[in-house]
Amino acid sequence: MHDLDELLRDYDRARAYTDELWRDLTPDEVTWRPHEDSSAIGWHLGHQAHVAHFMIRNLTAAEPSPDPELDGIMDSANPEKFRGALPTVERLTAFRDTVAERVHARIGAIAAGRVGAPSQLAVVAHHLLIALINHEYQHDQWIGEVRTGALGHPLPPDPRSDRLRRIDGYLVLTAPA
């Protein structure tokens, strides 16, 4: 299904923009917290992947977490002080990459019709991907604010897409017609 392939490219574009926001930072900058009730950039990176995993798992295919020890740390329902220590940058990167591979595999199976109820799941996958993309950009906004305001690094240019808009300061992917 062409629409899902296009949305997967948009998902990759959003993840690539996230990478531009943090890959040039030091591990200390990635794990630094502006204050005790604030999350580090690294938490946002793990949380983005955590949400993607749980949405794919709960809406399209039950599968175990790629890193169950991170589930409580990356869950925004847990107050910051109860989340625990952040994993290393390498572990966060591996977690993000594994989740993205699973998103691609599951959405690819849906697009190819290799699932039960393929037409119904295609509708779910369409909306799910838009939500994942916009969630990625939602947390990119905070990462960018800390990157520039607290850490003094410039922002990369916004990703380019005819479907991206800024709404209330946030990048948002609008739904394709």
Contact (CB, 8 A) for 121 and 110:
yes
- The full DSSP string for 87-154 is --HHHHHHHHHHHHHHHHHHHHHHHTT-SSSHHHHHHHHHHHHHHHHHHHHHHHHHHHHIIIIIT-PP
**pLDDT at residue 175, as a whole number:** 66
User: In sequence order, which residues have a C-beta less than 8 Å from that of residue 4 and are 6 or more positions away?
Assistant: 107, 110, 111, 122, 125, 126, 129
The string of pLDDT tens digits covering residues 96-122 is: 999 999 999 999 999 999 999 999 999
Going by C-alpha positions, the residue among 42, 52, 50 that lies closest to residue 76 is 50
The string of pLDDT tens digits covering residues 127-166 is: 999 999 999 999 999 999 999 999 999 999 999 999 999 9
Say which CATH class 2-173 falls into.
mainly alpha
Mean pLDDT, residues 62-86: 88
pLDDT-based confidence at residue 14 (cuts at 50, 70, 90): very high
pLDDT over 70 at 42, yes or no:
yes
**pLDDT at residue 30, as a whole number:** 97
**pLDDT at residue 1, as a whole number:** 54
**pLDDT at residue 59, as a whole number:** 93
pLDDT-based confidence at residue 79 (cuts at 50, 70, 90): confident
pLDDT over 60 at 177, yes or no:
no
Mean pLDDT, residues 19-35: 95
Question: What mean pLDDT is reported for the chain?
Answer: 94
Spatial distance between the Cα atoms of 40 and 59, rounded to a whole number of angstroms:
28
Report the percentage of the chain scoring pLDDT > 70.
97
Give the residue extent of every domain in the chain.
2-173
CA distances from 150 to 15, 33, 89, 147, 162 (A): 22, 10, 19, 6, 31
**pLDDT at residue 35, as a whole number:** 84
**pLDDT at residue 176, as a whole number:** 58
